[in-house]
């Protein structure tokens, strides 16, 4: 399973290598590029194609592409015949360090991102860094945001690497490989301790509450996933500072690290209210509260349950500020007691 664009660039190579490795390739299922791959319609079409090829539990479904392909292929594998094996071959930096690791699969609904999904660990993940040579610059930056997320959660050394290489823009190939290895190791260790997100795995949602809301509010067309999470991490830095949990020097360091990765598209004014509504539909909502991840210090994240309505209002005000962060003064009314 792949996208048309990935097959155009790399399909011939993969289809030549797989038979040499002993794989009997029965069919190629091509999905649309981007988030359009993660719809119920495309999922059903994929399952019907798997039926026609007579795929059974002795076989594999390979997800060959970026994060959306990995999510769609993983969910198709998880649900076909109640589960067939999956192999992930990520071709983007984002999918190498994020979606291919951990077994999360999913589809989008109009109400929000990844509201349909399951945990289905791949049998193999093969990340060949040569795929990154053809990666557009914007997609490269998208992956670096997720590497930054891992650094903020667990690794001061990884953050220093990103800082000294201007968000990997001046990094050597060895430093890029080091950053990828470090990020994958961080995520894998978190997942190993909490596969189904009942505890610390939820830390990997750092920046995702607002990030997913922005993606949904703009119909998944304006931002890459990493760009949206970049906004989410900036918001978390400002929010933590406002709540007097994130020290100002740490918040500043986070904002600088996000900014060093590169430019992002601005948030349309018309999308602000839609983002607020999408935020209220976040999967992490618990009744009247949303569990947010804040940063007490680098590699010291902390969960906070915040009033959902107040968080929505703050996020909207922060987005409307546009040219600068919105920082409320005084004691925050949305801090959970």
Catalytically active residues are 82, 104, 146, 187, 197, 201, 205, 208, 212, 225
In terms of Cα–Cα distance, which of 175, 136, 90 is closest to 262? Answer: 136
Burial 196-218 (b: 16+ CB within 10 A, else e): ebeeebbbbbbbbbbbbbbbbbb
Q: Quick check: helix, strand or coil at residue 182?
A: helix
CA-to-CA distance for 256 and 311, rounded, in angstroms?
23
According to DSSP, the β-strands at 85-90 and 60-65 are parallel
According to DSSP, the β-strands at 300-307 and 289-297 are antiparallel
- What percent helix, strand, coil does the chain show, rounded to 5? 55, 15, 30
CA-to-CA distance for 175 and 178, rounded, in angstroms?
5
CA dihedral 302, 101, 118, 71 (to 10 degrees): 120
């Amino acid at each position: 399973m792949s996208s048309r664009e990935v097959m155009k660039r790399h399909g011939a190579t993969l289809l030549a290598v797989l038979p040499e490795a002993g794989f009997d390739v029965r069919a190629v299922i091509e999905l649309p590029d981007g988030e359009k791959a993660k719809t119920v319609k495309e999922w059903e079409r994929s399952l019907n194609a798997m039926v026609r090829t007579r795929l059974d539990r002795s076989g594999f479904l390979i997800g060959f592409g970026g994060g959306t392909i990995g999510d769609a292929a993983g969910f198709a594998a998880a649900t076909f015949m109640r589960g067939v094996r999956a192999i992930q071959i990520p071709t983007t930096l984002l999918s190498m360090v994020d979606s291919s690791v951990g077994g999360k699969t999913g589809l989008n609904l109009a109400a929000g991102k990844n509201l349909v999904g399951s945990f289905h660990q791949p049998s193999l993940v093969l990340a060949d860094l040569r795929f990154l040579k053809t990666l557009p610059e914007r997609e490269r930056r998208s992956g670096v945001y997720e590497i930054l997320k891992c650094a903020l959660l667990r690794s001061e050394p990884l953050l220093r690497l990103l800082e000294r290489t201007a968000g990997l823009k001046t990094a050597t190939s060895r430093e890029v490989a080091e950053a990828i290895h470090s990020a994958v190791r961080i995520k894998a260790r978190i997942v190993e301790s909490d596969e189904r997100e009942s505890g610390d795995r939820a830390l990997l949602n750092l920046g995702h509450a607002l990030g997913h809301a922005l993606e949904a509010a703009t119909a998944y067309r304006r931002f890459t996933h990493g760009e949206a999470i970049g906004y989410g991490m900036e918001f978390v830095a400002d929010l933590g500072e406002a709540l007097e949990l994130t020290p100002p020097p740490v918040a500043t360091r986070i904002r600088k690290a996000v900014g060093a990765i590169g430019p992002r598209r601005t948030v349309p004014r018309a999308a602000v209210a839609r983002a607020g509504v999408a935020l209220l539909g976040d999967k992490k909502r618990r009744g009247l509260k949303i569990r947010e991840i804040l940063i007490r210090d680098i590699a010291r994240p902390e969960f906070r349950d915040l009033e959902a309505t107040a968080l929505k209002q703050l996020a909207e005000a922060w987005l409307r500020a546009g040219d600068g962060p919105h920082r409320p003064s005084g004691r925050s009314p949305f801090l959970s007691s």
